[in-house]
Amino acid sequence: MGMNFAVLGAGRIGQVHADALAGVAGARLVAIADPMAEAAKAISVKHGCDIRTIDEIATSADVDAVLICTPTDTHADLIEQFARAGKAIFCEKPIDLEIDRVRACLQVVKETGAFLMIGFQRRFEPDFNVMRQAIDTGKIGTVEMINLTSRDPSPPPVSYIVRSGGIFRDMVIHDFDVARWMLGEEVETVQAAGSNLVDPAIGEAGDFDSASVLMTTASGKHCAISCSRRASYGYDQRIEVHGSLGSVSALNHAEARVQFAGPDGYTIPPNQHFFITRYMNAYRAEIEAFVKAVTEGTPAPVTGEDGLRALALALAAIKSVKEGRAVKVSEILG
Amino acid sequence: MGMNFAVLGAGRIGQVHADALAGVAGARLVAIADPMAEAAKAISVKHGCDIRTIDEIATSADVDAVLICTPTDTHADLIEQFARAGKAIFCEKPIDLEIDRVRACLQVVKETGAFLMIGFQRRFEPDFNVMRQAIDTGKIGTVEMINLTSRDPSPPPVSYIVRSGGIFRDMVIHDFDVARWMLGEEVETVQAAGSNLVDPAIGEAGDFDSASVLMTTASGKHCAISCSRRASYGYDQRIEVHGSLGSVSALNHAEARVQFAGPDGYTIPPNQHFFITRYMNAYRAEIEAFVKAVTEGTPAPVTGEDGLRALALALAAIKSVKEGRAVKVSEILG
Amino acid sequence: MGMNFAVLGAGRIGQVHADALAGVAGARLVAIADPMAEAAKAISVKHGCDIRTIDEIATSADVDAVLICTPTDTHADLIEQFARAGKAIFCEKPIDLEIDRVRACLQVVKETGAFLMIGFQRRFEPDFNVMRQAIDTGKIGTVEMINLTSRDPSPPPVSYIVRSGGIFRDMVIHDFDVARWMLGEEVETVQAAGSNLVDPAIGEAGDFDSASVLMTTASGKHCAISCSRRASYGYDQRIEVHGSLGSVSALNHAEARVQFAGPDGYTIPPNQHFFITRYMNAYRAEIEAFVKAVTEGTPAPVTGEDGLRALALALAAIKSVKEGRAVKVSEILG
Amino acid sequence: MGMNFAVLGAGRIGQVHADALAGVAGARLVAIADPMAEAAKAISVKHGCDIRTIDEIATSADVDAVLICTPTDTHADLIEQFARAGKAIFCEKPIDLEIDRVRACLQVVKETGAFLMIGFQRRFEPDFNVMRQAIDTGKIGTVEMINLTSRDPSPPPVSYIVRSGGIFRDMVIHDFDVARWMLGEEVETVQAAGSNLVDPAIGEAGDFDSASVLMTTASGKHCAISCSRRASYGYDQRIEVHGSLGSVSALNHAEARVQFAGPDGYTIPPNQHFFITRYMNAYRAEIEAFVKAVTEGTPAPVTGEDGLRALALALAAIKSVKEGRAVKVSEILG
């Protein structure tokens, strides 16, 4: 009984997943792999698991599933390797930065019959699920217009930016996935704008730090996304879904639910600082959903196809900025 | 058609009523009286009305109604004078600081058949009326517990304090009236505490600047009042009525409905500074209700009896503080 | 002393301005003009002013200023007529639905030296001015991204729609003006989407009822607008300005500042129903600003050029929707 | 390394503590004791610990500390037994319902030098600690008036009520402790009122279900408590501390941080249902603080004296209700 995991990659997101795993009943971390010995050791000590190489893990009989938390450019190769090794696979977004590579990878997954789930943790955030359920039960009628606001407290280092695939594929991709989830309908057209307002070094690296997207579906629904790498008031994560009968919004999470009153007025603390705190519940629920789906033999709650489609929206946005026009998603997906 | 008014007393509250009158259709200010020539002149100029003496007003055929805004110790005498003069009377709270004098005055009102309305403007505040109507329609079930919070932005000068009758009769009296209105049942027992925390000069003048009251009704309802002469965040005026099915609360009024977000968190501006701004709508609606009741021959919406009963609660609170015990209102009213 | 006004047009917006005028010290309504005798009479009776023809007003020596509240297609002609007649002119937006006609009209204004102010009342809304001042004083640093949400409680009749110039020129135009005001920099590029989601009859009339806009400035600022002709929770009017140091938002105005608590949670009432209630303070302040500028000989706080530029943004949005591309404002303005 | 615990009592609060323990690093549950075999077994199975008798636990070499979660009337005896057995002791409030018994028990603790901590979990609630720290750093100046609101979602069964010691000793006692913590000064005088408004059966059992308390300190600070066994909107737990420079409030915790907008207005979900959910973080932090204090040899963060003083306030309140007067705490404590 229970499911044995190996985590591939002991960086920040690998640590998040190792911590999340520890809170999931029936999940056990048995191995960590990372070329950086120190990082691997830290997780090994903290969680009492082995350090193994990736190849060792692929052939470990006591490993049922892997969490791929390595750099993006290794994702597709690792998915293929572990699909062939017969392990259940959880892979952090994105599968790859290019559509063709994603497609080739998903073909291997298909052929091997492997279980693959992509890491869009927001789909498991409790508040967002309350929203989604409210929409499903008709509480706001037909969805018409969605506004997503997504702002990081501060920009990552440029060393991260240069390997990230750019703001649309690295940061906005989460919002693209949430948009698809909340819209309940595929996006048809993407318009976008990108600016360099926060850190000149990001611009010099060829990326934007401020991005806006305007998407429409075949039935005429609109979804607008507003993203920034900067927010002095903490991690800003809001969703508003406006429907024919009303609307539903996800509110930010303050560091503490207290209020100060003084000569300047009434103040509540800034938002929880960043994604690890804000989404820890979601990361845990994500692993739970993975375990449940593998155990029960049901489809992955977030599939490779979801990963592909979010990437396609990012690529459409990039194309829209470059060409100054509305881009059809079909231009990307063919 | 319309009603001609004289305002007695050109101080702060007299100015408030003169301004309120100006916004009431069918009400016309024809005269102002005040021994302070300059104050009277200011209102006369601003509103284009005569300056007359009180005795002249009592015999003015063109005056239908008077608004008594003079110092408290003149209220009862003026009510009697104008009751006998056949004018409709609006008198600022309180009628007098002593029960016996109030009773004698109300006897004259009764004998002359005069129309008398007491100035508890909060009864006409739009939000509070939304609450009262929600209670009437059963939205919160049976009223069980009421919490009133009432804090002035800063204490008045001691020169005001010494003539005020003390915090319970001067400030809390408004909350006593609101309590009676919201409870829908007379108070039976009063417990209270008073402290001098804000301005030592107030204590030296024999008054409190911080007051708390705990009242119960025959059916067991509770009402707690928390009053202070100080609030760094503006005029704090909250009411919470808790019932068997839910509760309803009146919220504060911010200076502006904007929100700032920054490193300290999310801030909305302080409350509107003080009662003239906060209750201007209420003062206007109060005069409208006066005009309506006089015109239609219906009873005053706030009667001399209401004034008497609010005073009785204040006196019970004072007695409770002094004697360290729960005081029955019947001890005050006989 | 004081300024005598005539209102041209006794429809809904004419009534609003006549009511607003009544609350402005030093402003006096002397005449109303409307071909609909009944509508003109209603204002005449309510405000005690004459009924005159437009031509009579143009030659009335006792009229200093006109408020043009007639149908849109008469605005430019009337501005020209009253500019030549030497009256100070306040004209409801828009000057005209076409750029060329606006330009010709503004040329007449320029040649005659007439005072012309355009009716974008939101510029005078107190909360929005608190925002604007906060931006001016550097409270949020450099403006980076603006999000405007603008939703009417319910769509107007199709009879209105067909003469309105379409949602971008009729409704979003207010948001275009607010965007320019808050950005503090001209818009360079406009992308937009329009859908028919609310009322099929609006679509049949060739208009949209749901509109989104994404604009960028030369320095890279973004502004997104989300508009709908439907909001079950009342008139939705929000502005969020995100800057380098923080953000500032204008909140909605509830019908009452009360809160209900019950088994479904905590509820505050819906927003004030519509623009007349929501912006009455703004309409009054707008007239005050008009009077002040004319009296003091200062430039109009909202000029014909402002009207022209807001229209240009609307036309760029329409072009963007039609051509599926980002439209430069310079394509419209030349 | 680490601390081995036994939990005495496998009822609701015993389960809470066993669950809380599971999340505390360095704490291990080794035994559960309960005369109800089934309840003990459930915890034993869930947490993989032994079932032992209380006497066995007292002599178990592998048990470092006990959590006393048995019925109130056994607390004092068990504290004494385990003090003599040399175990570190955590005891749920109250030590006993009577002052003399508490004192005798604390004498044994003193003589044996045992470590005793009393279970007032709210002292470890994160938001409340943010408040307490804000007060400590002078953010609100001198504390003047405190308002505590404490409402359970629904009343307990009468079978619980009859053994509870009554609302003041069972429910309000938590608020008495929070009051002492936030006041930073001992209470001098207690006035109180109790009513039976929620469930007639509670009144028939001789208890109240609605309670109000008004307390003052020697320096004149006020603290008001409003308690009810009923709140249709979930567990209502608010604290407001008003000081000379401002105020700080703890807000309620909604089930989800979402907002619905519709024809009735804007709604956020009800509060988390009850104390186990609302205070789970606090229960965990409480055990952590226990482990830390025992390990480091520092005094218990909540002492037997704290338990005694909270009880004294409850007894003073009961006496105040019975005798209709303000009761000095010194009358209770001697």
pLDDT tens digits, residue range D210-243?
999 999 999 999 999 999 999 999 999 999 999 9
Q: Does A229 touch chain C if contact means CB atoms closer than 8 Å?
A: no
Q: For residue B195, which of D148, D138, D245, D223 has the smallest C-alpha distance?
A: D223
* B295 assigned to some structural domain: no
Q: Using one digit for the tens of pLDDT, what is the confidence trace for D38-75?
A: 999 999 999 999 999 999 999 999 999 999 999 999 99
What CATH number should be reported for the domain holding residue D83? 3.40.50.720
Beta bridge partners of C67: C7, C90
Beta bridge partners of D262: D265
Q: In chain A, positions 258-297, which contact chain B (CB-CB < 8 Å)? A: 261-270
CA distance C314 to chain A (A): 17
Q: Using one digit for the tens of pLDDT, what is the confidence trace for B76-112?
A: 999 999 999 999 999 999 999 999 999 999 999 999 9
Regions of chain A where pLDDT drops below 50: none
* pLDDT in the model for residue C2: 85
A17, A24 in Cβ contact below 8 A? no
Q: Are residues D94 and D165 in the same domain?
A: no
The CA-based angle C260-C265-C268, given to 5 degrees, is 40
Torsion (CA) B54, B60, B62, B67 in degrees, nearest 10 = 20
CB contact under 8 A, C270 and D263: yes
Q: For B280-303, where are the alpha helices, taking DSSP H only?
A: 280-296
Q: Please report residues of D whose CB lies closer than 8 A to that of A252.
A: 257
Confidence of residue D110 (pLDDT cuts 50, 70, 90): very high
Verify cis geometry, omega within 30 degrees of 0, for the bond prior to A200: no
**Strand A65-68 vs strand A88-92: parallel, antiparallel, or unpaired?**
parallel
What's the DSSP call for residue B297? T
D145, B211 in Cβ contact below 8 A? no
Q: For C68-226, where are the alpha helices, taking DSSP H only?
A: 72-84, 99-112, 126-136, 158-164, 167-170, 172-183, 200-204
Confidence of residue D2 (pLDDT cuts 50, 70, 90): confident
* pLDDT in the model for residue D27: 92
How many Å apart are CA D226 and CA D228, to the nearest integer? Answer: 7
Q: Using one digit for the tens of pLDDT, what is the confidence trace for A95-104?
A: 999 999 999 9
* C216 assigned to some structural domain: yes
Q: Does D140 touch chain A if contact means CB atoms closer than 8 Å?
A: yes
How many Å apart are CA D12 and CA D226, to the nearest integer? Answer: 25
* D302 assigned to some structural domain: no
Question: Exposure of A186 by Cβ count < 10 A (0-12 exposed, 13-18 middle, 19+ buried)?
Answer: middle
Q: Are residues D109 and D213 in the same domain?
A: no
Q: Are residues B96 and B189 in the same domain?
A: no
Q: Does A249 touch chain C if contact means CB atoms closer than 8 Å?
A: no
* D289 assigned to some structural domain: no
How many Å apart are CA C40 and CA C37, to the nearest integer? Answer: 5
What CATH number should be reported for the domain holding residue B216? 3.30.360.10
Q: List strands edge to edge, sheet with C65-68.
A: C50-51, C27-33, C3-8, C65-68, C88-92, C116-119
B153, B273 in Cβ contact below 8 A? yes
B134, B259, B262 member nearest C249 (Cβ): B259
A96, A76 in Cβ contact below 8 A? yes
* Amino acid identity at C255: E
Asked whether residue B212 carries a pLDDT value surpassing 90, the answer given is yes
* pLDDT in the model for residue D25: 83
* B298 assigned to some structural domain: no
D274, D286 in Cβ contact below 8 A? no
Asked whether residue D80 carries a pLDDT value surpassing 90, the answer given is yes
Q: What value does the mean pLDDT of chain D take?
A: 96
Q: Give me the phi and psi of D83, to 5 degrees please.
A: -65, -45
Q: How far is CA D278 from the centre of its chain?
A: 13
Instruction: Give the domain-ending residue among D95, D114, D133.
Output: D114
Q: Does C244 touch chain A if contact means CB atoms closer than 8 Å?
A: yes
Q: Are residues B72 and B139 in the same domain?
A: no
Verify cis geometry, omega within 30 degrees of 0, for the bond prior to A94: yes
**Strand D143-151 vs strand D222-228: parallel, antiparallel, or unpaired?**
parallel
What's the DSSP call for residue B271? B
How many Å apart are CA C53 and CA C34, to the nearest integer? Answer: 7
Helices B280-296 and B12-22: crossing angle in degrees, nearest 10, is 70
A231, A265, A269 member nearest B270 (Cβ): A265
Q: Are residues D128 and D108 in the same domain?
A: no
Q: Which residue of D has its CA nearest to A125?
A: D256
A231, A254, A265 member nearest B267 (Cβ): A265
How many Å apart are CA D80 and CA D91, to the nearest integer? Answer: 11
Q: Are residues B101 and B130 in the same domain?
A: no
CB contact under 8 A, D270 and C267: no
Neighbours of chain C (3+ CB pairs under 8 A): A, B, D
Question: Exposure of D334 by Cβ count < 10 A (0-12 exposed, 13-18 middle, 19+ buried)?
Answer: exposed
* pLDDT in the model for residue A282: 96
Helices B37-47 and B12-22: crossing angle in degrees, nearest 10, is 10
**How many CA atoms lie within 13 Å of D301's alpha carbon, on the beta-carbon side?**
19
Instruction: Give the domain-ending residue among C114, C147, C169.
Output: C114
Q: For residue A87, which of A51, A114, A111, A54 has the smallest C-alpha distance?
A: A114
CB contact under 8 A, C256 and B126: yes
Tokens of D233: 């909107």
CA distance A317 to chain D (A): 29
CB contact under 8 A, D247 and A258: no
What's the DSSP call for residue A167? H
Confidence of residue D1 (pLDDT cuts 50, 70, 90): low
Domains: count for chain B? 2
Q: 3-class SS at C47?
A: helix
Spell out the per-residue pLDDT of chain C, length 334, in tens.
589 999 999 999 999 999 999 888 889 999 999 999 999 999 999 999 999 999 999 999 999 999 999 999 999 999 999 999 999 999 999 999 999 999 999 999 999 999 999 999 999 999 999 999 999 999 999 999 999 999 999 999 999 999 999 999 999 999 999 999 999 999 999 999 999 999 999 999 999 999 999 999 999 999 999 999 999 999 999 999 999 999 999 999 999 999 999 999 999 999 999 999 999 999 999 999 999 999 999 999 999 999 999 999 999 999 999 999 999 999 999 8
* D299 assigned to some structural domain: no
Whole-angstrom CA distances from C204 to B299, C55, C171, C209, C322 are 57, 38, 18, 11, 17
Structural domain span for residue C46 = 3-114
Q: Are residues B176 and B325 in the same domain?
A: yes
A198, A155 in Cβ contact below 8 A? yes
Tokens of B180: 């009676």
* pLDDT in the model for residue B306: 97
Q: Where in chain A does DSSP place strands (E)?
A: 3-8, 27-33, 50-51, 65-68, 88-92, 116-119, 143-151, 187-195, 210-217, 222-228, 236-243, 247-250, 258-262, 265-268, 327-328
Beta bridge partners of D92: D119
Q: Are residues B133 and B242 in the same domain?
A: yes
Q: Are residues D88 and D193 in the same domain?
A: no
* D21 assigned to some structural domain: yes
A126, A247, A260 member nearest D246 (Cβ): A260
D8, D69 in Cβ contact below 8 A? yes
* C70 assigned to some structural domain: yes
C261, C263, C267 member nearest D265 (Cβ): C267
Q: Using one digit for the tens of pLDDT, what is the confidence trace for B3-60?
A: 999 999 999 999 999 999 988 888 999 999 999 999 999 999 999 999 999 999 999 9
How many Å apart are CA B313 and CA B328, to the nearest integer? Answer: 9
Q: Are residues D272 and D201 in the same domain?
A: yes
Q: Are residues B147 and B51 in the same domain?
A: no
The CA-based angle B44-B49-B50, given to 5 degrees, is 85
Q: Which residue of A has its CA nearest to B269?
A: A265
Count of pairs with CB atoms under 8 A, one residue in B, one in C: 74
D91, D79 in Cβ contact below 8 A? yes
Whole-angstrom CA distances from D139 to A262, B77, B268, C9, D130 are 9, 49, 18, 57, 11
CB contact under 8 A, C233 and D265: yes
What b/e sequence results for B232-267 when a residue is b if at least 16 CB atoms lie within 10 Å of its CB, and e otherwise?
bbbbbbbbbbbbbebbbbbbbbbbbbbbbbbebbbb
Q: Where in C208-298 does DSSP place strands (E)?
A: 210-217, 222-228, 236-243, 247-250, 258-262, 265-268
Instruction: Give the domain-ending residue among C81, C114, C147.
Output: C114
CB contact under 8 A, C251 and B269: no
* pLDDT in the model for residue C26: 85
Q: Are residues A182 and A323 in the same domain?
A: yes
* Amino acid identity at C179: A
How many Å apart are CA B312 and CA B186, to the nearest integer? Answer: 11
Q: Please report residues of C whose CB lies closer than 8 A to that of D265.
A: 233, 254-255, 267-270
Q: Please report residues of D whose CB lies closer than 8 A to that of C255.
A: 265
Neighbours of chain B (3+ CB pairs under 8 A): A, C, D
Whole-angstrom CA distances from B92 to A97, B39, D20 are 75, 18, 59
